[in-house]
Structure 1
Amino acid sequence: MSLKFKVIAGFFMSFSIVLGACSGNAKSEKTAMNESFVPGELWYDADSVHINAHGGGVLYHEGTYYWFGEHKTSGRGGNTSLLGLRCYSSDDLYNWKNEGIALASVDDPESEITHGCVMERPKVIYNETTKQFVMWFHLELKGQGYAAARTGLAVSDKVTGPYTFVKSSRVNANVWPIEATTEMKNCSGETKHDWWTQEWRKEVNKGLFVARDLDSGQMSRDMTLFVDDDGTAYHIHSAEENLTLHIAELTPDYKDFTGKWTRVAPGGHNEAPALFKYKGKYYMIASGCTGWDPNEARILVADSIWGPWEYKGNPCKGKDANLTFHSQSTFVLPVAGKENAFIFMGDRWRPRNPIDGRYVWLPITFEDDQPAIEWHKQWDLSVFNSEI
């Protein structure tokens, strides 16, 4: 082989390796026939490819589970969206088929979802009236870091997509929360105090950032969706510079906001909300704010989705519970056909190589109606057989 040919061949071999890493389609010798969950280990789809659905959520529809998540790529730029949001399907939760990109980022610099934007934490719900699948996700505009703090909407008539991008915005512009006081409404949205001082924290709790963002709409970063027993849907998101969670009611078609919303744990510095309902009570798992590094989970409980919400400590038990087993909450998955059976879905972020992020799925048990999450090196759905 000539030196020139060796150089050319080496170039194409290197290019192929890089392309494989970016697409997430590098094959493994491992056979994807799973009969249990192994949290934190590589999880392969039916094509023996590492599942690429980070920050995800799961929809159960007509006997099948659909997992939507962020398609990550390799390297430090892998948290920006170069392809879009991916979908997988499963009938047993152990084995997943790649259904492709559900919502694609586009090669159009004028589009809000152009290649290089940030598309995170997609959640999909089904509207029984319109017969449409409705996706909301966290959107950051290309080149703006995390300053935009918007929520994006996409819809499809087919569960696996393709989804059509409709719009993005901040949330509930020019609408005060249901608990707004006269003091909050009279706030200028500006402070004379240094951030993180006691005086500044008091202003935050009273609605400093609510007032600041009133005209533009409230910030929306980490987010999830929840559909209640009566079919009413809610958009739950981290707002006010990640200091306060907001719960916003969606319109009956799930494609807009009604204007009814509330603040949860003002100034509590919560993100990564995951909401579920157990025995008539509402539970929300969240995390603290430490960037890509794990921290201690916290759980809040309320008798009404509108609150008041009360902290109930860390639901995680055992070794590394203070780090949520090196993960961060993204969703709580109700197991179909099993009463009061829920799976905690978490992500282990790998910011230096995002495509290598891992999934931590663990069963949620209940002790005196208090949710508990314990580490299992390996487990299967039989753990719920006694949870009836």
Structure 2
Amino acid sequence: MKLFNKVKYLICSLLLSVLTVHAQRSSFTPGEIWPDDKGVHINAHGGGILYQKGKYYWFGEHKVAGGAGNKAMVGVHCYSSKDLYNWKDEGIALKVSEDTISDIAKGCILERPKVVYNKKTKKYVMWFHLELRGQSYKAARAGVATSNNVNGPYTFIKSYRPNAGIMPFYPTGTPEEEKVNCVNPKGRSEGFFCRDLPGGQMARDMTVFVDDDGKAYHIFSSEENATLHVAELTDDYTGHTGKFSRVYPGKSTEAPAVFKRNGVYYMIGSGTTGWAPNPARWFSATSIYGPWTYHGNPCIGEKAEITFGGQSTHVLPVQGKKDAFIFIADKWTPKDAIDGRYLWLPIKFNGNNMEISWKEKWDLTTFDAK
């Protein structure tokens, strides 16, 4: 009888495992475990999503257990989905290197990977924030890799600090007090800019945005995280042209997520409080270079002051639906990075203003109710 019970238990456990792995999801449950097609919690932190040929591809930092913390021990993970609820594990798109002198050597810090497609070169281009192994957050570099296939493998090209020796572009309407003067720098942020001018500007938390005309922009935290830079990329998306502007100088913004709606550019970011959540902030502009207008916190309701426990990483336009944008944030768990959760929430618009409120469970039909 005992043997029968053991066999019965094993069969039930196996059936439950199979059902769990193959159960199809039809809604989002922010902050909960999100299994992939193998039943494993999705491992794509600080990521971004590319829509290509009828599928969404989610790229993010692959975390490991065992105290590695924020070090990159594996690389950038890729998942694919047709419906945004159910994700297939596509494997590691960019592997860290076993070569200890490589910029992306195992144990480096590789954060916030974003992939875009270049229609001219027909290549997929991945940008990420890179810190060299053993240097903590001293290097503050931008890294770039390319692939002929959306899910990889990606080949690392280079890492560097952007726009060495180049002064900012100033959109019409930029206040004089926001223009850099390296003869007599004003404040800490401008001092950092001038300090780094010869070797290139610091590039940490970042995203990449491709505009309607095919031009791509690298948006990143710079000047010791005190100021955002919006920098134009070259036609092949693998370098910088030297044209860039400074956004909200000296106000310490990171975790930028950029999208465009009805001809208006939107940016959601956060303050700089390490791994601890803080109030989100959003900006809008009619030109990618600005001037950008600050609007405060887009989140409303309970825990809005800590962005519901998360930090922005991406805003996803939903294909086939009008005015449908998903705010994507990470709920970081630095002591057990692999357990980090994902907060996906719908953005609600009132004219050109936006709001983000908490939902325990929701699906894409939310966007149908206008």
TM-score computed with the length of structure 2 as normaliser: 0.91
Distance, in Å, in 1 between the alignment partners of 2:194 and 2:19 is 55
Distance, in Å, in 2 between the alignment partners of 1:224 and 1:380 is 26
The residue aligned with 1:44 is 35
Q: Secondary structure at the match of 1:82?
A: coil
Counterparts of residues 165-314 of structure 1 (less than 5 Å): 165-179=156-170, 184-187=180-183, 202-204=186-188, 207-314=190-297
RMSD: 1.7
Tell me the CA shift for residue 368 of structure 1: 2.8
Distance, in Å, in 2 between the alignment partners of 1:107 and 1:307 is 42
- 1:347 and 2:330 are equivalent in the alignment: yes
Indicate if the aligned counterparts of 2:182 and 2:191 stay in contact, CA closer than 8 A.
no
Tell me the CA shift for residue 313 of structure 1: 1.1
Tell me the CA shift for residue 303 of structure 1: 1.2
- 1:122 and 2:106 are equivalent in the alignment: no
Q: Which ranges of structure 1 fall in alignment gaps of 5 or more residues?
A: 1-26, 190-201
The residue aligned with 1:105 is 96
Q: Secondary structure at the match of 2:198?
A: coil
- 1:317 and 2:264 are equivalent in the alignment: no
> What is the letter of the counterpart of residue 20 of structure 2?
K
The residue aligned with 1:95 is 86
Question: Which of 309, 315, 338 in structure 2 is aligned with 1:332?
Answer: 315
Distance, in Å, in 1 between the alignment partners of 2:331 and 2:182 is 42
TM-score computed with the length of structure 1 as normaliser: 0.87
Distance, in Å, in 2 between the alignment partners of 1:297 and 1:125 is 25
Counterparts of residues 129-140 of structure 1 (less than 5 Å): 129-140=120-131
> What is the letter of the counterpart of residue 158 of structure 2?
K
Distance, in Å, in 1 between the alignment partners of 2:29 and 2:180 is 48
The residue aligned with 2:7 is none
- CA-to-aligned-CA distance 1:208-258 (integer Å, 9 cap, x gap): 221111011000000000011111100000000000000000011111111
Q: Secondary structure at the match of 1:376?
A: coil
Distance, in Å, in 1 between the alignment partners of 2:303 and 2:244 is 35
The residue aligned with 1:199 is none
> What is the letter of the counterpart of residue 134 of structure 2?
G
Q: Secondary structure at the match of 1:136?
A: strand
Distance, in Å, in 2 between the alignment partners of 1:184 and 1:151 is 22
- CA-to-aligned-CA distance 1:254-288 (integer Å, 9 cap, x gap): 11111000000000110000001111111100000
- 1:35 and 2:35 are equivalent in the alignment: no
Question: Which of 50, 54, 70 in structure 2 is aligned with 1:59?
Answer: 50
What fraction of aligned residue pairs are identical, expressed as a percent?
A: 57
Q: Which ranges of structure 2 fall in alignment gaps of 5 or more residues?
A: 1-16
Tell me the CA shift for residue 30 of structure 1: 3.2
The residue aligned with 1:195 is none
Distance, in Å, in 2 between the alignment partners of 1:331 and 1:219 is 21
Instruction: State which drifts further: 68-77 or 107-116.
Output: 68-77
